[in-house]
Copies of this chain bind each other. A is one copy, B any other.
Amino acid sequence: MEIEKLKVPPAYQAVSTELQKHILSGALKPGEPLPSEIELAAKFGVNRSTVREGIRQLESEGLVRREGRKRLLVTVPHSADLAPRTTRALVMHEVTFEELWEVAMVLEPLAAQLAASAASDAQIAALKANLDATSAVVERGISPGKLDLEFHSLVSAAAANKVLLLSREPVGLLLYPAFETFQMQLPQAARRLVEAHREVVAGIERRDGAHAELWMRKHVADLKRGWELAGLSIDQRIEPGVTP
């Protein structure tokens, strides 16, 4: 006879999962406030401290949000809630530049292609603004810094694919800050970056998905070339560049 180690989850976890069910089932819709801690404690038949511990879990998962000392609001987890955790996990797993690059090499061109069909006028304008800012900064010999990161976020936002948006974010968050590490050694790299960005934007504006995709592919491929030219190993561990 098999006896399996029966697990009795602590009460605070029960509270957490129970509230999750209520939110997922739609009984509590995004935007609505949760009952007060005292009410919840009474309903679940546990102490307020226990409820609070359960709430902390939901809070860190982005299912509820508290602004100041106000009531908890049900929210739908945003990319900004999830991406940092995934990014942390990737860093702790000691992913290499190559692993990141391989994934970026398929996700970024897809984003560019989809953006060409789906980008709104406002999004194209934002891309152009980013392009001008990047260009101006690079002319002065300064590193594009966060502008590069922002560019790729804008492209994937314009792609109107929420799955892509969420999947791509952690990769970009780690990969593009890596550009900074070799950009000083390769002055021409920044100019190539601006050129590629320009062509991607041009493709998106002309609704030319193939063009946007092609140049995005070149652009990401360039990233690896630059990495290698700078004498960095492909197996180099990635450090967290930005901590948002």
Once the chains are docked, how many angstroms separate the CA of A222 from the CA of B100?
28
Cα–Cα, bound, A64→B102 (Å): 30
- Cβ of B171 and Cβ of A90 under 8 Å apart? no
Is A33's beta carbon under 8 Å from chain B? Answer: no
Asked if A186 is at the interface (CB within 8 A of a chain B CB), the reply is no
Contact B102 A77 (CB under 8 A): no
Most interface-central of A86, A100, A114, A163 (chain B CB within 10 A): A163
A30 and B92 contact, Cβ closer than 8 Å, known pairs A102-B163, A110-B106:
yes
CB-CB under 8 A for A62 and B77, given A103-B163, A163-B102: no
Q: How far is the CA of A159 from the CA of B147 in the complex (A)?
A: 32
Asked if A49 is an interface residue, CB under 8 A from chain B, the answer is: yes
Which stretch, A50-58, A124-132, A227-235, touches the partner chain B?
A50-58
Q: Do most interface residues of chain A lie in helix, strand or loop, or is the interface mixed?
A: helix
Cross-chain contact of A76 among B52, B92, B167 (Cβ < 8 A): B92
For A44-76 the 0/1 string (1 means CB < 8 A from B) is 000001001110110111110000100000001
Report the minimal beta-carbon distance from A173 to chain B, rounded to whole angstroms: 12
Collect the chain B residues with CB atoms within 8 Å of residue A110's CB: 102-103, 106
Cα-based distance from A85 to B24 in the complex (angstroms) = 12
For the side of the interface on A, what is the size category? 35 or more
Q: Would you call A88 an interface residue if the criterion is a C-beta within 8 Å of the partner chain's C-beta atoms? A: yes
Q: A12-B56, A56-B12, A57-B56 are in contact. Are A164 and B89 (CB under 8 A)?
A: no
Q: How far is the CA of A107 from the CA of B171 in the complex (A)?
A: 13
**Cα–Cα, bound, A57→B58 (Å):** 8
**A106: which of B49, B59, B82, B106 is its contact (CB, 8 Å)?**
B106
The answer to whether B106 touches A89, judged by C-beta atoms less than 8 angstroms apart, is no
5 A-B pairs (CB sep. < 8 Å): A24-B240, A53-B53, A102-B110, A103-B110, A103-B161
Chain A positions within 8 Å of B, measured between CB atoms, are: 7, 12, 16, 24, 30, 49, 52-54, 56-57, 59-63, 68, 76-78, 81-82, 85-86, 88-93, 95, 99-100, 102-103, 106-107, 110, 114, 161-164, 166-167, 170-171, 240
